[in-house]
Amino acid sequence: MSGELRGRVALVTGGTGGIGTAICTRLADLGARVATTYRNEEKARTWQAELKEQGYDMAIYACDVGDYDACVKLINQVAEDLGPVDVLVNNAGITRDTTLKKMTPQHWREVINANLDSVFNMTQPLLADMAQRGWGRVINISSINGQKGQFGQANYASAKAGIHGFTMSAAQEVARKGVTVNTVSPGYIATDMVMAVPEDVREKIIAQIPVGRLGRPEEIAHVVAFLASEHAGFITGANLAANGGQHMH
C-alpha cells in the first residue's frame, strides 16, 4: 500500500455509490483519512459495515449537499473529527431524465441543485482555508454527457457542463496558492445503475464505445487519486475525460 496521501483528509460527496465507493477506497489505500456523505441512512450503514469487513474505516455523515448551511456544518464536523479537508471530491449527483417537452421546473431544479449547486456549496467554504494552508485538491466529477449532451438529459447535461465552467474559474483564483481544481468526466461505467439497464440497451451503449466495453469504477478512482496526488501539481483547470474514446475533443 502506497502512502502518497498519508496524513491528508479527503472528503468525498456521494461516496456510497459505485464510483464513489471506488474513489473512497482508493484514497484510503493511499493513506488518506476518508469522510463521505449520504442521504439514505440504511444504505449508508450497510455500506460502512461492508467496507469495515474489508478493512476500511470510513467516516460517514448525513448531508444534503444541495443545502449550503448543511455543507458548512459538515465541513466543520469533518475538521473536528479528522482534521481540515485537504482533498475534496464533488461526486454526489442525481438524475431526473425526461425530454425537455415533459420536463417540469421541479425536474430541472432538483438536478441543478444536487449536481451543480452542491459543487459551490462544498467548495466555497473550503477553498480559502486550503489556499491559506498552501495545499489543496478539488476534483469535480462531471460526465461525458456534460461534454456532448444527451437526449432526455437537458437538466443533467447542463449541470455537468456547468461543473467544468466552475472548475476553470475556481482554478484561476487559487492557482498560486498550491491548490488545484480539476474535472473528471466519466463515460459509461459498470455501476449498479448502468448494469440495471436492459441488456439490449446496454449492448447499444457498448457498441458506441471504441474500446468495446464499459469502464470500471476503479478506473475513475485511479484518475481521481492521481489528481489528488503531489504528481498532479501542474494540472489545474483541466477536464480529464475517461470514456473509452466515446467522445473525443
Question: Looking at the annotation, which residues are catalytic?
Answer: 156
DSSP state of 87: E
Sequential DSSP letters for 94-108: ------TTT--HHHH
- Give the separation between CA 114 and CA 91, rounded to whole angstroms: 10
CB distance 38 to 87 below 8 Å:
no
Sign of the alpha-carbon torsion through 147, 113, 229, 232: positive
* Residue burial 30-55, b: 16+ Cβ < 10 Å; e: rest: bebbbbbbbbeeeebeebbeebeeee
- Give the separation between CA 191 and CA 142, rounded to whole angstroms: 16
